[in-house]
Structure 1
Amino acid sequence: MAKSASTAVATALNSKPALGNKELAVLRGSSSPAKQAAEMKATLNNMKSQMAGLKSQLNDLQSRHAHLGDRFSAQGHGCVGPRDNWQPKDLGAMVEMNKLNQTSGSIGAEQFADSIEAAVGDLDGQAASGEYRAVSDWAANNRERLTPEARQVMDIYSKYAAVSQARGESGIPQGDFKKMLAEMRDVGDASAKKALANLDSKSHGGTVSGQDMARAIKTGTADHDGQAGGAELKEFEKWASKNESRLSPEAKEVLDVYRKHTQAAQAQGRTGLTDKETAAMNKELSKVGAGDVSARKATEALDKQSGPISGEDLTKAIKDGISDTDAHSSTSELKEFEKWAAKNESRLTPEAKEVLKTYQQAAKKAGPEGMTQKEADAMFKKMDGFKTFHDSSMRDALEGLDAKKGKISGNDLTAAIEKGAGDLDGNAAGTEFTDTMKWARQNYDRLTPEAKKVVDTYEKYATRSQAQGSTGIDQKDFKKMINEMKFVSNPRPTRPVFYAA
């Protein structure tokens, strides 16, 4: 085609004129020499313009011919012309690539790698020729759908195909093919990798908090490339597996939230999250990340108790809640206890309120870095002064009643009094009695009528001993008191009365 065009140009320029000078003179008429010269100049300019047009058409034809069969370069920088071993596209590879046309949205590295493996994995010796052409042409025509990571996958394929082509091979050897796939699988997700690199940099190899993990997930999945439940999730899972010892309980909970939301999308055949799903996940990530697992478990233990929360109860919960030494005693852990206290204010005894106040003061003094062990010890020593119950044996017995759901029967209370006041420490009518009466007042609505009679019985024997100047109850009287409590707790059924007619 190029040769024909060149011949046409040469013929147009060199052929003999169809009209002679005599004929031209007749056509021109009796014009002046100056006018004839001007006309001749215009004719020459017109011929030059026609020649330039023909040359332009020739260059265009040559350019189109040279670009037939373009494909991705080995370096991923565009396209190059076909080599001497050019072959048509492989039909099987085209079928696999067409399957991607049936999908919507972005195509990530993993999905594209899977498609390439399916397209060229039939071992027919066309991986660097016909199959490569089918894949690379599809990639060139759908570049906007490929994520940056998927483009890296294409570059890896181009690299291996170029090596085989340079050796004069139309296929990729099996060993190289396996290496190529492994390299493709290792591409990962750029945004997730960057977020995790920043996380490592910020934590300096130390413990990762829930807030830091939540922030990393939000950043790593913010590119909306449809891989929140695909390549991005895998990057976070891989990182978490390698750094499990560094994850705080809160960070682990944050990861569980991430898994929960992505699994819901995966169940619908999606690797990405919608904007609405992303917003819901991020909201939950922030909530969980800002919390504290150890403190929350401690407050959950308080929730399992019935009735008022004593100073001792709250002190123990705070000890359990900040014992993980994660340096959050004055931040997230304090917030968990404050949040719980606000919801359960009516359950807090005056002593428990003083305990919370003591915690708040110590946390404020310590600052955001958390309390040192010395500061924590000093705080707990002060908290020990706010006891609701002052006898340890009776406290243990009454806490057993707190753990019981529902009403407290006469038998329940009798057993607690026998256990708490039966240690023969001389306080059955003193601190043990005081603790029991305080607990009974706080839990009066939970007492059955029989339990209330038990309280009255205890009060009768204790006040009698106090009147005699004793804080204890004589052993003989104590046994008598317990028997009386058992009696009122199990009243005998009333016998029917029959009257003679």
Structure 2
Amino acid sequence: MAITQTASTALSSALNSKPALGAKELQSLMGPASASRKEAEMAATLNNMKAQLEGLKAQIKDLKAHPHDQFTASGGGCVKPASDNWQPKDLGALVEMNKLGQTSGPISAEQFADSIEAAVGDLDGQAASSEYRTVADWAANNRERLTPEARQVMDIYSKYAALSQARGDSGIPQGDFKKMLAEMRDVGDASAKKALANLDSKTHGGTVSGQDMARAIQTGTADHDGQAAGAELKEFEKWAAKNQSRLSPEAKEVLDVYRKHTKAAQAQGRSGLTDQETAALNKEMRRVGSGDVSARKATEALDKQHGPISGEDLTQAIREGISDTDAHSTTSELKEFEKWAAKNESRLTPEAKEVLKTYQAAAKKAGPDGLTQKEADAMFKAMGRFQTFHDSSMRDALEGLDAKSGKISGSDLTAAIEKGAGDLDGQAAGTEFTDTMKWARMNYDRLTPEAKKVVDTYEKYATRAQASGSTGIDPKDFKKMINEMKFVSNPRPPRPLFIAA
């Protein structure tokens, strides 16, 4: 109101003030004038008055826009700011805020904290006055770009600036400044924090499954604030570092999947993931999280074997797959084996199929809480009835052949027979021979011509022993058999023929 009155008075004075020279004096000085001259002078006077009026209007507008930019009558400087503590903007802070304004997308807490530190960290004693006003104005004008976390950062700055202003200081003491920055850095990501709080609540401080971890990450990164590879990732990493003992192997794998996807974005200078990248991340996390690491490792070991999977092979894999005592033996671990069996049905021997049925029946009876040790022991005892190979020494020797890739040579098979049937237990023509023949039939396409001759040689000596009513092969005959196998495995090259002229 005072500004308007002052300006109005100035305007009225300018328009109504009495001229210094009267009309007679002017006429005497100027001499007689024509009508056209008088008209031109009048027009010039009116134009001059209009210009003065526009100038005064501009001054009034400026005074209204900056009501505190008034100077004392003596010209001694600025009048003390009014109660709203207005301050002129700080040039250095303006530069930093303009840099931030030139970025694209949402502004994270970390970005804003970095900019504030750069804007007010010059120790010029203006962090609670002109620098604060510069940052606060910029934040108000760009509120829609600030993430909720960045707004928290601004609130922290406002808190410390208000404390200094209350003490009559224009700056923030160095100690408080460091505390302020520490608080800003600790803001984190609200959506990720909420997701992790829900995770803690759901698991009650216990083991975190892969599915739990996948859901938490998907929820915590779903706010589209462009921080899935930035502040949100840091929040999950910080939580994981404090809760390593609670993470199941599957949860750790899910975190590794998250790291892999975010690393790719970071390599391109991005702190967020595109919608397509987010969809791919969530899909892979769900797949990994719903599986079971120990069971998957066991089935991967089966994949490394060549040829059919025996009952013993599958029993051993199941034993290893559920050995982690994570109470998933009847849920995710069973699903992992069922999924593997469906893909490899043609490789399963009849005994292996019976082993899987035994596992499924035991799991159904036990329920979702997993097999107790007593139930697991009973299950493995039942699986023991479904052995593809019945002689332990021969089984070990044949498993060595399963581990070999490619074709089985005559020398390979000879060495296995010598190892598996050479224990002198009286079964070289009994169970050891039966196991070898069964293995040879299941792996016939892997045998070289020499290996097939080795099979024929074994059959010849074993059936001869059986004809005499024995399940063993006489040591002398066994040695002779091995030598013959070695011979057919490495046939001598034919002698060159010389034709007489």
Describe the shift of the 1:286–1:68 C-alpha distance in structure 2 as closer, same or farther (beyond 3 A): farther
User: How far off its partner does 1:5 sit?
Assistant: 3.0
User: How far off its partner does 1:85 sit?
Assistant: 6.0
Contact 1:311 1:352 in 2 (8 A): yes
Show the 5 A alignment for 1:233-382: 233-382=233-382
Q: 1:406: which partner in 2?
A: 406
Contact 1:210 1:251 in 2 (8 A): yes
Show the 5 A alignment for 1:189-228: 189-228=189-228
Describe the shift of the 1:457–1:140 C-alpha distance in structure 2 as closer, same or farther (beyond 3 A): same
| 1:100-145 CA distance string (max 9 Å, x none) | 2111111111111111111111112111111111110000101111
**Alignment partner of 2:170: what SS?**
coil
Q: 2:73: which partner in 1?
A: none
Describe the shift of the 1:2–1:380 C-alpha distance in structure 2 as closer, same or farther (beyond 3 A): same
Per the normalisation by structure 2, the TM-score is: 0.85
Q: 1:54: which partner in 2?
A: none
Describe the shift of the 1:303–1:400 C-alpha distance in structure 2 as closer, same or farther (beyond 3 A): same
CA distance in 2, matches of 1:7, 1:243: 69
User: How far off its partner does 1:170 sit?
Assistant: 1.4
Describe the shift of the 1:196–1:308 C-alpha distance in structure 2 as closer, same or farther (beyond 3 A): same
Show the 5 A alignment for 1:52-63: none
Give the count of matched residue pairs: 441
Contact 1:2 1:62 in 2 (8 A): no
Describe the shift of the 1:136–1:212 C-alpha distance in structure 2 as closer, same or farther (beyond 3 A): same
CA distance in 2, matches of 1:67, 1:217: 52
CA distance in 2, matches of 1:162, 1:64: 26
User: How far off its partner does 1:87 sit?
Assistant: 3.0
Contact 1:2 1:61 in 2 (8 A): no
User: How far off its partner does 1:280 sit?
Assistant: 1.2
**Alignment partner of 1:494: what SS?**
coil
CA distance in 1, matches of 2:417, 2:307: 18
User: How far off its partner does 1:91 sit?
Assistant: 0.8
Describe the shift of the 1:223–1:67 C-alpha distance in structure 2 as closer, same or farther (beyond 3 A): farther
Q: Which one-letter code corresponds to 1:250 in the other structure? A: E
User: How far off its partner does 1:332 sit?
Assistant: 1.1
| 1:57-102 CA distance string (max 9 Å, x none) | xxx9999668879xxxxxxxxxxx9657643111111111111211
CA distance in 1, matches of 2:340, 2:347: 11
CA distance in 1, matches of 2:389, 2:67: 91
User: How far off its partner does 1:3 sit?
Assistant: 5.8
**Alignment partner of 2:486: what SS?**
helix
Deviates further, 401-410 or 102-111: 102-111
Q: 2:21: which partner in 1?
A: none
**Unaligned stretches of 5+ in structure 2?**
13-59, 70-80
Describe the shift of the 1:483–1:164 C-alpha distance in structure 2 as closer, same or farther (beyond 3 A): same
User: How far off its partner does 1:411 sit?
Assistant: 0.6
Q: 2:500: which partner in 1?
A: 500
CA distance in 2, matches of 1:340, 1:492: 45
Q: 2:138: which partner in 1?
A: 138
Q: 1:25: which partner in 2?
A: none
Q: 1:44: which partner in 2?
A: none
The CA RMSD over aligned residues, in Å, is 2.1
Q: 2:154: which partner in 1?
A: 154
Per the normalisation by structure 1, the TM-score is: 0.85
CA distance in 2, matches of 1:84, 1:261: 49
CA distance in 2, matches of 1:145, 1:284: 31
